Chains A and B, each alone.
Chain A
Amino acid sequence: MKRHAFLFSFGMVFIVFQACEHFEPVAPAENALLDGPVEGLSPAENIRFLKGDVAFNDDVFTASNGLGPLFVATTCGTCHPGDGKGHPFTTLTRFGQYDGTGNQYAHLGGPQLQHRALPGFAPEVLPDNVGFSKLTPPANTGLGFLDAVRDADIMAWADPNDNDGDGISGVPNWIVMKEYITARDGTIEHEGKYIGRFGKKAAAYDLHQQTAQAYNEDIGITSTYEPMDTHSGLLIDPEITDQTIHDVVFYLKTLKAPIPRAAHRDEIISGKAVFEQIGCAKCHRSEMKTGDSPIAAIANKTFHPYTDLLLHDMGADLDDGYTEGSATTSEWRTPALWGLGLSKFSQGGDYFLLHDGRAKSIDEAILWHGGEAANARAQYKSLTSTEKNKLIQFLESL
C-alpha cells in the first residue's frame, strides 16, 4: 500500500511539473489580436514598450491620483480595449467649433464634453443649440507607421482642386502646432500651420499631442504639456510625469500593424478587386511607406493601412456641424481600415462603425458614405449580393 501511494503521489507531481504548460490555454493566433509590439524591437525598446503598456492598460485613475474631477474614462485602455476600437460607453462628444476660427464654446467646456464627474461634482452638459460630434475611440494599432509617413507623401496624395477629375479631392488638415511639439524632419509648413494626421478630423500633429490631450480631456489628468485643469480652467501641477507620457507615446508608436487574415483565399482576393474597382481605394489607400525613424523596426517600411491621411467631404449625412483645424464640418480624415474585421472583438461583439459608431455593420457604414464617396457608394449599391459579400469578406480580413 505504501509503495502504491508513493508511486501515485510521485507520478502525479511528476506529471504536473513536466506537463503543466500543456494544460494551459494556448495563445490566440497573432493575426486575431490587435495588441502586441511590432516585430524587431530591441530589448531596450521592449522594456519601454512594456512600461508604456502598463501605463496605458493598467494605470487606473481615481480621485487620489488625479482623476477628473470631470472625465470621460478612468484609464486609457477603457477607450481602446485590447488596443481596438472603443465601445459607445466611451464615445467622446466634442462641440463648439464650426470653422477655422477656433472654438466658440471654450468658456462652456469646449471642445470636449466631460460628461462624468467625481462624487460631489457636476459633470458638464452640452450647451443648447451647439454643433457637436460624437466620436468613437479608434483602434491604436499601427499608429507608429502612420506617424512615420513623410509629409511630402501626404501632400503628393492631396488633390484639393480635383485635377484628375475623379470627384475626390483630399486635403490635409492644416493645424496650429502645440508649443511642446517637436516637428518631424521634413515637416511642411503652410501659413504657420502644419499637417495634422491623428484623430477623426486629423487635428493632432503627432502621438505626443494626441496622448497629452487625451490624458487631459478624457481623464482629467494634467501634465507639463497640458497643464490646464478642465474643471477649474486653472493651470495646476502635473498629475502625471513626462516620462509616463513618453512611455505611452512609445507604446503607441510600436504597436504592431494589424495582420490580415486569410488573404490568400479566392473570395478575399476577389473582394479586394471589387474594392479597387468601385473606387474605395482612391481614399482608402492600400499601401504607404514610412520615412526615417529613430525606431528601426518602423523606419522605411511598406505597410497597408487603407487610408490616405487626408480630409474628404463625406456629404450632408455625415456633417455634424462641428470641426477642428482647417477641416470643414463635413470633412473627415479617411479612417484606416486595417483591423476592421477585429473591431467587434473590442466593441463587445457588435460593430459600432463610422466616426460616431452609428453603423452597426460594414454594409451600413458604406451606405452612409456621401460627398466625395457618393460615386463609390452608388457603385457599391449596384453590386450583386455575391460581389458585396466578397467585398465585405475582404474588409473583414484586414
Chain B
Amino acid sequence: MKKMYMISIMVLLSFTTIAQIDATLLKRVTQDTVAMKLNMDAVYNRPFLTMAKIPVALGGYVEANWQHLGTDGISEGHQFQMRRLTLFVASSIYKRIKFLSEIEFEDGTKEINIEFASVDIEFHPLFNLRGGIVMNPIGSFNQNHDGPKWEFIDRPISATQMLPATWSNVGFGVFGKLYRKEWVYAYEMYLTNGFDDQIVSNEENKTFLPASKKNPDRFEESFNGVPLVTAKVALGKRQVGEVGVSYMGGVYNKFQDDGLVIDKKRRVHVFALDFSTTLPFLSTWLNAEAAWVKVDVPNTYSQHYGRNQMGAFVDLVQPVFKGTVFGFERSVLNVALRTEYVDWNKSRFEETGTHIREDVLAVVPGLSWRPTAQTVIRLNYRYQWQTDLFGNPASKTAGFQIGFSSYF
C-alpha cells in the first residue's frame, strides 16, 4: 500500500511542473563517450545531433560483425551478423524537463524493443522524477550498454544472460546526484512492472531472468500486480573511479488469479556490485561487475531451475598507441581482455549431495582500434568452456570475431 501511495504522489507532482526549453539540447553536441562519468549518466552521455532550431536531438549506434566459432570440432562456418541498430530521440520539453527514448532493432528485425522512453523532471539535483519505460539500474552494464563504449563484440554473459540486460520496464522512480569536490554521490530507485514465471519455466531449462522479456504484455500490465523494486547507490571520485551497489527484487509468479489463490508469493532477489577505474600511469581501464540471483523455486519443482546464481565479468583495456593512423589524428589502439563466469545453479543435488554445475567460463582477448571516440573496430578471440548440470566434460567453443560499432 505504501508503494501505491508513493506512485500516486509522484504522478501528481509531475502535473505541477512548469515547462521551459532546455537550451543544451539545441546545440550540436558530440560527447566524448570514453570519458568517465557515472553509469547512471550513460543514457545522456551519448553523441546527439540536432536539426536547426528544433528542440529534438537524434542519435543512435550500429553494430555488425563477422565471426567463425566452433564447438568441439563442429563449426557453423562464416557468420555475418547485424547485431543491433539503435535509435535515440531526445527532446528538451522545457527547462529541467527532458524526454529520451531508445529503440533497438536486434539481429535485423528479429527483436524490436523500446529500451528506454522516459520523461525526466528535475526538481533538485538530488531529486529528479523519471517515468515511462526505464532501464532498471541493476549493475552497471544494463545502464551503460551502448556498443561503441565497449571493446568486445559479445556482451557479457553474466550481464545479459543471468542478469537480463538490457532490462527495461514501465514504471516511475527518483534519482539524484550530489557533488562534493571530487566526489559524486548518486542514488536511483524505481518501482516498475517486473518478472513473470517464465524465469523458472523456459526453453533454456534453467533459472533465466531474461525469459521474462518474451512476455509481450509486460509494458501494458504487471504479471502479478506487485511492483519490482530496483535501487542503486553509486559513489564516484574523479581520477579514481566508480563503485555501485544495486538491488532488484519482487514477486515473480502469479499467486492469485480472478481472486483465487493458486500459489504462494515467490520472490526473486538480485544483488549487484560494479566497479570501474582507470589505473594511474598505465591508463589501464578496469571494469568489473558481479551479481547474485536468489529465486524462491518450489521444492517439488525440478532442480534444473537453480535457486542461487552467481556471475561476474572483468574487463581490462590497455591503450597501447595513441596518434594518427590512416589520417585519424586521435585514434587509439587498445589491447583488451575479458574474463567472465556464470554459475547458473549454485545448489547441490538432493540425490547425491554433490554440486550442481551448469556453468560457463570464457576468456576473450582482443584488439580494438578507435579512429574516434565514437567508433570502434574490434578483433576478439573467444574461448569458452560450458559445463552441464552434472559436471560432465565441458564443451569448448572458440573462434574469432571481427566487427565494428559506431555512434551516428
Q: Which residues of A contact B (CB under 8 A)?
A: 1-2, 5-6, 9, 12-13, 16-17, 20-21, 23-28, 60, 62-64, 67, 71, 73-75, 78, 81-82, 87-89, 91, 115-123, 345-349
- Chain B window 52-90, contacts with chain A (Cβ cutoff 8 Å), 1 for yes, 0 for no: 000000000000000011111111000000000000000
Q: A13-B402, A24-B398, A60-B204 are in contact. List 12 more A-B contacts (CB 8 A).
A: A16-B379, A26-B72, A60-B202, A60-B205, A78-B205, A81-B390, A89-B303, A89-B352, A116-B302, A119-B301, A122-B300, A348-B392
Q: Which residue of B lies closest to A61 (CB)?
A: B205
Enumerate chain B residues within 8 angstroms of A9, measured Cβ to Cβ.
Answer: 369
CA distance A73 to B301 in the complex (A): 10
Enumerate chain A residues within 8 angstroms of B73, measured Cβ to Cβ.
Answer: 24-28
7 A-B pairs within 8 Å (CB atoms) are namely A2-B327, A20-B400, A62-B201, A87-B351, A116-B301, A118-B301, A346-B390
Enumerate chain A residues within 8 angstroms of B354, measured Cβ to Cβ.
Answer: 348
Enumerate chain B residues within 8 angstroms of A345, measured Cβ to Cβ.
Answer: 392-393
Q: How far is the CB of A364 from chain B (nearest CB, A)?
A: 16
A88 engages B202 (CB within 8 Å)? no
Residues of chain B from 379 to 400 with CB closer than 8 A to chain A in the complex: 379, 381, 388-393, 396-400
A348 engages B391 (CB within 8 Å)? yes
B399 engages A20 (CB within 8 Å)? yes
Given contacts A23-B399, A28-B73, A81-B392, contact A116 B300 (CB under 8 A): yes
CA distance A27 to B395 in the complex (A): 10
CA distance A16 to B327 in the complex (A): 25
CA distance A348 to B353 in the complex (A): 13
Q: Which residue of B lies closest to A25 (CB)?
A: B396
Given contacts A21-B68, A28-B72, A88-B349, contact A62 B202 (CB under 8 A): yes
B197 engages A119 (CB within 8 Å)? yes
Enumerate chain B residues within 8 angstroms of A87, measured Cβ to Cβ.
Answer: 349, 351-352, 389-390
Identify whether the interface residues of B are mostly helix, strand, loop, or mixed: loop
Query: Counting CB contacts under 8 A, is B203 at the interface?
Result: yes
CA distance A346 to B389 in the complex (A): 10
A63 engages B74 (CB within 8 Å)? no
Enumerate chain A residues within 8 angstroms of B243, measured Cβ to Cβ.
Answer: none
Q: How far is the CB of A16 from chain B (nearest CB, A)?
A: 5
Enumerate chain B residues within 8 angstroms of A24, measured Cβ to Cβ.
Answer: 68-70, 73, 75, 398-399
B390 engages A74 (CB within 8 Å)? no
B351 engages A25 (CB within 8 Å)? no
A120 engages B68 (CB within 8 Å)? no
Query: Counting CB contacts under 8 A, is B145 at the interface?
Result: no
Query: Counting CB contacts under 8 A, is B367 at the interface?
Result: yes
Enumerate chain A residues within 8 angstroms of B70, measured Cβ to Cβ.
Answer: 21, 24-25
CA distance A24 to B197 in the complex (A): 38
Query: Counting CB contacts under 8 A, is B324 at the interface?
Result: yes
Given contacts A78-B304, A347-B390, contact A27 B72 (CB under 8 A): yes
Query: Counting CB contacts under 8 A, is B325 at the interface?
Result: yes
CA distance A116 to B70 in the complex (A): 36
Q: How far is the CB of B307 from chain A (nearest CB, A)?
A: 13
Enumerate chain A residues within 8 angstroms of B74, measured Cβ to Cβ.
Answer: 27
A16 engages B402 (CB within 8 Å)? yes
- Chain B window 200-213, contacts with chain A (Cβ cutoff 8 Å), 1 for yes, 0 for no: 11111100000000
B400 engages A23 (CB within 8 Å)? yes
Given contacts A1-B324, A2-B326, contact A74 B304 (CB under 8 A): yes
CA distance A145 to B273 in the complex (A): 55
- Chain B window 234-275, contacts with chain A (Cβ cutoff 8 Å), 1 for yes, 0 for no: 000000000000000000010000000011001000000000
Q: Which residue of A lies closest to B71 (CB)?
A: A25
Enumerate chain B residues within 8 angstroms of A26, measured Cβ to Cβ.
Answer: 72-73
Residues of chain B from 293 to 319 with CB closer than 8 A to chain A in the complex: 298, 300-304
Enumerate chain A residues within 8 angstroms of B392, measured Cβ to Cβ.
Answer: 81-82, 345-349
| Nearest 10 interchain pairs by C-beta | A27-B73, A24-B70, A348-B390, A25-B396, A88-B351, A20-B68, A62-B201, A60-B205, A348-B391, A16-B400
A81 engages B301 (CB within 8 Å)? no
Q: Output the residue of B325, B349, B392, B399 with the most chain A CB within 10 A.
A: B392
